[in-house]
Amino acid sequence: MRMTPIIALALAAGLACGDGLVLRSEFRDISPGADRIAHNSQSVTIARSERPPVIDGDLSDACWAAAEPLTDFTRQKDGEHALVDTEVRLCFDEAHLYVAFRCDEPAVDELKANHMEHDSDIWRDDDVEVFLCPNDDHHTYYQLMINSRGALADGRFDGGIRQGTREWESDAEIGSAVGDDFYAVEGAIPFEALGLPGAMEGARWAGNFCRTRYAGGEEITCWSYPGFHQMEGFAGIVFGDAPVTARPISLGAMTWGESRVLVQVANESGREVPLRAEVLIDAEDALVAQPAPAPPGETQVAIPYRVERTGVEQRLEVRLHAAGPAGEAPILWIDRRFTPPPVLSVELSERSIFEYQSRTIATMTVTLPQADLARVSANVSLLDAGGETLRSTALDTLEGGGAHLLLDASGLAPGRYEVHVTLRDVGGEAIDRATEGLVVMASPF
């Protein structure tokens, strides 16, 4: 084969090239990284209750007397101490998380409770709010808003206040009462409604507890600052005084290919603890991993998983179990919905060229971790308006996620064309496709 000078130059430089459409390709590494979860250092440990509270707004139950109170609420606007006190207590049993608020209120006659319909604008009333993130990933969380008369609004959020739905139902039982200088709210929240099988001793959640006050003057406060939907303020909620606990550090890149969940395990048992992990994507057969036993102290555990599709919502479930004297028990349960983004895009430097121009440049971007780039290949094709392939080049190796491709446009008649790029895995299955239009115009000379 007689090579044009540009092809010879590409070979001399050690660059990947083809003898069809692509005259030269230059790669650069743009491998995506995995986001790390920023945890708040504040936390509370809550106890299991053998006798759950009666949900009626009366906080005289023994479990509330035994629970550690969460106090020192701060104002949302400036972080200063609240003008009136709010106290929260928590406990749990096998099926429910229980929460109680006692809200001091010197102006109980001015309490606003105008929204009594379920899922109405409770936040416009004097209300308390519960934010729970069972994954401790600061992404998927649940909100319950309850006013002084026990009306409830609830919702689920995936990534922030603008990615929420009120269609989710907490199925919470709510009780409330108003006293001479306070009001109280109690709630029983089923673990099942949060996507969990039941109580997990040692599990670590994130969350926050907030209050909106209109009686006596507007004041918006929270237990862990900043409050409400600001996830950086979510503090730790640890279930029981278990010897082994876990919290996620990263859920991985969550794009096509190999990834891993990174978990911080704290082992205070004084001995090595065997671990077992299960990973499910869209509830298909679980991938079971057997990480090394957790030594005493803190250690990081990597749990691998693989994503096979892009562009469609999927569900990642991760379960980490620790062995103990009474048998194996779950210490981490992650349930995360995600949509892997497209991993391939292509853009032409010029979408219109004259027929005397023999070349154009296409920028191809493959957003995959570096390890996965070795497992994929690309095919670049030029098609005419009728869909017939005129020229094609296979790129068997991708040295980096970004590439500038010098395309051969010589001899093309005026008309419309398309540049197609197909990304394939080692088995030849298409992972993603991208298309860019090209117009060849008649020469003005």
Average pLDDT over residues 278-299: 88
Q: What pLDDT is recorded for position 215?
A: 95
Q: What is the pLDDT of residues 243-255, one digit of tens each?
A: 888 889 999 888 8
pTM reported for the whole predicted model:
0.72
Please name the amino acid found at residue 48: R
Across the chain, mean pLDDT equals: 87
Measured between alpha carbons, how far is 236 from 46 in angstroms, rounded to an integer? Answer: 10
Domains, the chain, with CATH or none? 5-32+342-441 (2.60.40.2550), 43-239 (2.60.40.1190), 257-338 (2.60.40.10)
Q: What is the pLDDT of residues 148-179, one digit of tens each?
A: 999 999 999 988 777 888 899 999 999 999 99
- Name residue, tokens 């779950």: 330
At 29, the pLDDT band (50, 70, 90 cuts) reads low
User: In the numeric block, which tokens belong to residue 96?
Assistant: 């429910």
14, pLDDT greater than 70: no
Angle, CA of 340, 22 and 26, to the nearest 5°: 65
112, pLDDT greater than 60: yes
At 28, the pLDDT band (50, 70, 90 cuts) reads low
How many percent of the chain have pLDDT more than 70?
A: 92
At 11, the pLDDT band (50, 70, 90 cuts) reads very low
At 204, the pLDDT band (50, 70, 90 cuts) reads confident
Q: Which of 23-27, 167-171, 357-361, 426-430 tops mean pLDDT? A: 167-171
At 27, the pLDDT band (50, 70, 90 cuts) reads low
- Overall residue count recorded for the chain in this entry: 445
How many percent of the chain have pLDDT more than 90?
A: 56
Average pLDDT over residues 202-220: 92
Closest CA to 324 of 166, 200, 163: 200
